């Protein structure tokens, strides 16, 4: 049973940066897909950045493309999200998610049901 623990959230001003981390235990990510999601109260959980551990192929939502970078350390079983040029609209609870396979077709990468394991979330607040 995999366990995911996020860290690195906090409060920053617009234009600032944060780096989120997700530690995975009880599972070797190997050739699995992992994604960062975020959610604000009253809205659906949104997939924003995904990575396939097999070849480190990445994919991003348009809302974060060019500002956020997802990366992975398979040796340490860690997932990261570097967030630059943060905007108030980025304020949300951020979750990491792990699929126990490569998600296919790729169009399902941002679908909540594609992921078997989730962290508890870390809050990011961006003030203007």
Task: Summarize pLDDT for 13-36 with one digit per residue, the tens.
Answer: 999 999 999 999 999 887 899 999
In percent, how much of the chain has pLDDT > 70? 100
Check whether 53 has a pLDDT greater than 90: no
Helix, strand, coil in percent for the chain, rounding step 5: 5, 50, 45
pLDDT of residue 30: 79
Check whether 69 has a pLDDT greater than 90: yes
* Per-residue confidence band for 74, with pLDDT thresholds at 50, 70 and 90: confident
For the CA atoms of 26, 32, 33, 37, what is the dihedral angle to 10 degrees? -10
Share the mean pLDDT of the chain.
95
User: In the predicted model, what is the mean pLDDT of residues 76-96?
Assistant: 97
Which of 35, 17, 33 is closest to 94 using CA atoms?
35
Which of 67, 16, 66, 9 is closest to 38 using CA atoms?
9
User: In the predicted model, what is the mean pLDDT of residues 74-85?
Assistant: 94
* Per-residue confidence band for 61, with pLDDT thresholds at 50, 70 and 90: very high
* Per-residue confidence band for 54, with pLDDT thresholds at 50, 70 and 90: confident
Lookup result for tokens 């949104």: 46
Which of 44, 28, 46 is closest to 36 using CA atoms?
46
């Amino acid at each position: 049973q995999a366990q995911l623990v996020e860290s690195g959230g906090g409060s920053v001003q617009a234009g600032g940066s944060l780096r989120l981390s997700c530690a995975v235990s009880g599972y070797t990510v190997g050739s699995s897909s992992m994604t960062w999601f975020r959610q604000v109260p009253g809205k659906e959980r949104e997939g924003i950045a995904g990575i396939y551990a097999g070849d480190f192929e990445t994919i991003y939502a348009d809302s974060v493309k060019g500002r956020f970078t997802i990366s992975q350390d398979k040796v340490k079983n860690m997932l990261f999200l570097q967030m630059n040029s943060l905007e108030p609209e980025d304020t949300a609870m951020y979750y990491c998610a792990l699929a126990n396979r490569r998600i296919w077709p790729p169009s399902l990468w941002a679908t909540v049901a594609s992921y078997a394991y989730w962290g508890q979330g870390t809050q990011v607040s961006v003030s203007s």
